[in-house]
Every structure is written in structure tokens, then in C-alpha cells.
Amino acid sequence: MGPITTISAVLSTMFLAAPSPVASDGDFDWPLQPRPSVVRPFDNPEHDWLPGHRGVDLAGSDGQTVLAAGDGVVVFAGSVADKPVISIDHPGGLRTTYEPVSPAIPLGRRVTRGTPIGTLRPGHPPCSPCLHWGARRDREYLDPLGLLRHTPVRLKPLTPEPPHG
């Protein structure tokens, strides 16, 4: 395998393994700090009626502050099936959801990335306490990890450069 083929294979693997972008401006960040581990990844089913995991579960702790992942407006702050949920609408038809999160911000409030919006509560099995973070554009569920800013890819030589003499 030559250097061009190797670089092509590495780049293909990196881009296929990376979450697909869902926002063009990169103005989103993790809703928990410090950066949490992903306990359960996004698993979009082939059809709307099939089971899946329409979001990601992020490791957290009971009472931990949950932050708005991006700029938007709080459009829901209440209970769904006895779980506290917050939803934020962002430009371009994007909505992010956070559960189980006790709201600390009123409905209709404009927020910016990093604004505290509530506190994480237990009640999301099997990883309780953890944050279930979801995203959708209109009616299509998206992998919220695709919203995050990623470090740019930097290519390095496969072999060390010969010494200059």
C-alpha cells in the first residue's frame, strides 16, 4: 500500500467514523462540563416506528449543572412521562432536548451557548444519573454529537523527515 493509498484510507476512516455535521456554524458545545463520556451513542432506526436511541446519553452526576449547547430560545420546560425535560429551539429548524433536567430557566427565555438551563436528575436508566441529549431538525432526529466543534484534521508525515545537512 503506497503513501497516497494509506493517507486516503486514514482520511476515509476518520470521516466515516466522525459524526455527521448537522450545523454549519459550529456554535455548539457539550451540555455538561467537564466534557462527559458518551455512555450510549445515537442509534437512529431505519423507520420512525422502530425502536432506537434518538439521542446520546452523557455521564453526569445528580445535581450537575446542564448548559445550553447552543444559542436559542427555551420552548419547553416541564414534564414528559414524569421526567423533567427542557427543549431549546435554535436557528434553522433545529431543536435540542435535555432530560432528566429540572429547569432553572423560564419558558421563552433566550439563551446562549453555555447558559445554565437546569440541573441533572436521576431517572434515565440504565445509566442514571446521565443526561439524555437529543437533537432534531424539523421531524428528523440527528446525532447531537454532530453539532459539536471538532478539532481540525492535521496530517502528519508517515515517515520522519530526513535530517537537513
> To the nearest whole number, what is the mean pLDDT of the chain?
79
pLDDT tens-digit map of 61-117: 999 999 999 999 999 999 998 899 999 999 999 999 999 999 999 999 999 999 999
In a domain, 97, yes or no: yes
Q: What is the pLDDT of residue 124?
A: 74
111, part of any domain: yes
Question: For residue 42, what pLDDT is reported?
Answer: 82
120 in a structural domain: yes
Task: Count up the domains in the chain and report the number.
Answer: 1
Segment 113-132 shows an average pLDDT of 89
The Cα diameter of the chain in Å comes to 72
Per the structure, the complete domain to which residue 83 belongs is given by: 24-147
Q: Is the pLDDT of residue 4 over 60?
A: no
Nearest 5 degrees, angle CA 138-CA 54-CA 76? 55
For residue 24, pLDDT over 60 is answered with no
Share of the chain above pLDDT 90, in %: 54
* 110 in any annotated domain: yes
Whether this model's pTM surpasses 0.85: no
The domain that holds 115 is classified in CATH as: 2.70.70.10
Check residue 19 and give its pLDDT.
36
Distance, CA of 75 to CA of 38 (rounded, Å):
26
